[in-house]
Amino acid sequence: MVKKLYPYGKKKAFNVTYDDGVLQDIRFVELLNKYGLKGTFNLNSGLMEKEFEWTHECGLVVKRLNTDVVVDLYKGHEVASHTLNHPYMENLSKEEILVELSQDKANLERIFGKEIKGFALPFHYYSDLIKECVKECGFSYGRISEETGSFRLPTDYYSWKATFFHHFDKLEGLTKEFMETDEELGLFQIVGHSYDLDVADRWEIMEDVFRGISENKDILPMTTIEIVEYLKAMDKIEITSEYIKNNSDVSLWFEIDGRVCEVKSCEKVNIF
């Protein structure tokens, strides 16, 4: 029996994908780093440059991080586009959507000095037109504002759903369930904003989750783009009753009759 695994033979992956690039990300990234975990941070370069801030209904003033601090802060994590100005996109023309996406991508690439491959939707409205623009701008995936609600992988890279919005009352139970699941290529991906941790005073719950995840040797911390690129490589495999052939340019891992096996790029492994 053949089961697909993540890199290094890990059974499951964990990621947090957090939006808006706000001041609380500093504490949040410190926490991720403390436990060796990886995040994806979705930024609006237009608002970052304006040092935008707004007042949450609880009274907290939510401040965007500016360009001086982000490069060092997000080192080792993924930075993805969240549009230039965080607009409601429902009434935008194709040209306006393309500007929001492509200018943010270009700005972030200039600021971070590397290719920005991921996109996360602002607000909830998504359409075929936006999806087409995400592809046209050269992004490898588009995360939308829906949840899978399970540890099963999303099926569409351009309507990518995280597992779960960080409703803190359910977080502990779900983390425990993730430890116990035997879903093939199980994924636990939490979506949210770090300012919610201040609003709801939930930093301790988040730290408990991170500690638990980091102590579980079956779980690999990955960024969203690392997960997507690995899965796209996995899409290229040939599995028959006799062999596994890896047609991708990276190593892929499998469990074959209970044994962990690395199949290198272009390698063909017989299954007996």
- For Zn ion, the closer of residues 14 and 195 by Cβ is 195
Name which of 51, 102, 53 is nearest 81 in CA terms. Answer: 102
Using CB under 5 A as the criterion, which residues of the chain lie in contact with Zn ion when the complex forms? 19-20, 122
Residues 6+ apart with CB under 8 A from 226: 38, 78
Residue nearest to Zn ion (CB): 19
- Least distance to Zn ion, CB of residue 21, Å: 9
Phi then psi for residue 130, to 5 deg, are: -65, -40
- For Zn ion, the closer of residues 4 and 86 by Cβ is 86
- Least distance to Zn ion, CB of residue 19, Å: 4
- Least distance to Zn ion, CB of residue 125, Å: 12
- Least distance to Zn ion, CB of residue 223, Å: 18
Q: Which of helix, strand or coil describes residue 241?
A: coil
The pair of structure tokens assigned to 111 is 């600021």
Question: Burial letters for 143-163: b for 16+ Cβ neighbours within 10 Å, e otherwise?
Answer: bbbbbbeebebbeebbbbbbb
- For Zn ion, the closer of residues 20 and 226 by Cβ is 20
- For Zn ion, the closer of residues 196 and 226 by Cβ is 196
| Amino acid at site 110 | R
Q: Which of helix, strand or coil describes residue 256?
A: strand
